[in-house]
């Protein structure tokens, strides 16, 4: 599904190395965690994946398409195949949980009937059916992140990217979010997770790619957090 081929990224006049000849692939329906200390290259790698930034060298393919050769007109269509979850939730404060999730569908020109059917299903999947009319200020941190997960998956993307999704959560909320990500993966969606949390990795017992200094230093099929 996804292929990184000798991807390097340098920034600035001094050509600071963010990624250094990174190569790996991710299969459909796989769950992959990417770990590493701050500055290891995780965030740069994700920016490359959603075509927010371009490699200095190398190429990234989604199926057979070099994603950095997709035309500007077709880029939104590609990005709709990827749902993104952030550490800081990025919910709209003046919209309810239902409205925050619906907004993602509205942005994709979905009609009212689709929204009325799909949003409750997405909120049920993240165990928030009883909070759909609550505003973010009325939700806990874990509940906010679950709304963000529902928003990311409501358009049925092929891939979910979760960038440090438990960074602001307590251990109980962290466990709940991890279980939901596992459920989403079990239903057939590819999940790519970045995290500093050793406990999250050890709960998952899934593939772990470890980065350091812009390079992949380990790639374990059933890995642990070894940094």
Residue 116 lies in a domain: yes
What's the confidence (pLDDT) of residue 105?
Answer: 94
Strand extents, DSSP E, 38-128: 57-62, 65-66, 82-85
pLDDT at 151 over 90: yes
pLDDT by residue (tens digit) across 19-60? 999 999 999 999 999 998 888 899 899 999 999 999 999 999
Q: Residues 154-182: what's their mean pLDDT? A: 93
Residue 67 lies in a domain: yes
Q: What percent of the chain has pLDDT over 70?
A: 98
- Inter-axis angle of helices 141-153 and 97-106, nearest 10: 20
Residue 110 lies in a domain: yes
DSSP 81-111: TEEEE-TT----TTS-HHHHHHHHHHTTT--
Residue carrying the six token digits 């920016």: 47
* CATH code at position 151: 3.40.50.300
Residue 182 lies in a domain: yes
- Count of structural domains, the chain: 1
What's the confidence (pLDDT) of residue 1?
Answer: 87
pLDDT by residue (tens digit) across 65-86? 999 999 989 988 898 999 999 8
Residue 226 lies in a domain: no
- Mean pLDDT, rounded, of the chain: 93
> Quick one: which of 173, 97, 103 has its CA closest to 140?
173
Give the domain extent around 172: 2-220
Stated length of the chain: 227
> Residue 171 and residue 128: Cα distance in Å, rounded?
19
């Amino acid at each position: 599904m996804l292929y990184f081929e000798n991807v390097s990224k340098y920034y600035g006049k001094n050509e600071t190395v963010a990624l250094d000849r990174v190569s790996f692939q991710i299969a459909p329906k796989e769950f992959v965690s990417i770990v590493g200390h701050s500055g290891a290259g995780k965030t740069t790698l994700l920016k490359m994946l959603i075509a927010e930034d371009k490699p200095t060298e190398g190429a990234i393919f989604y199926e057979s398409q070099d994603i950095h050769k997709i035309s500007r007109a077709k880029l939104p269509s590609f990005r709709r195949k990827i749902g993104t979850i952030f550490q800081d939730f990025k919910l709209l404060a003046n919209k309810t949980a239902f409205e925050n999730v619906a907004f993602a569908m509205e942005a994709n020109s979905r009609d009212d009937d689709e929204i009325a059917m799909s949003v409750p299903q997405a909120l049920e999947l993240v165990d928030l059916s009883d909070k759909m009319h609550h505003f973010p200020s009325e939700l806990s941190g874990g509940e906010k992140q679950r709304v963000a997960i529902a928003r990311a998956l409501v358009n049925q993307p092929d891939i979910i990217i979760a960038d440090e999704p438990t960074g602001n959560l307590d251990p109980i909320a962290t466990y709940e979010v991890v279980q939901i990500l596992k459920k989403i993966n079990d239903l057939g969606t590819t999940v790519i997770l970045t995290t500093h949390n050793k406990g999250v990795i050890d709960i998952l017992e899934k593939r772990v790619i470890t980065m350091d200094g812009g390079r992949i230093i380990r790639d374990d099929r059933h890995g642990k957090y070894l940094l």
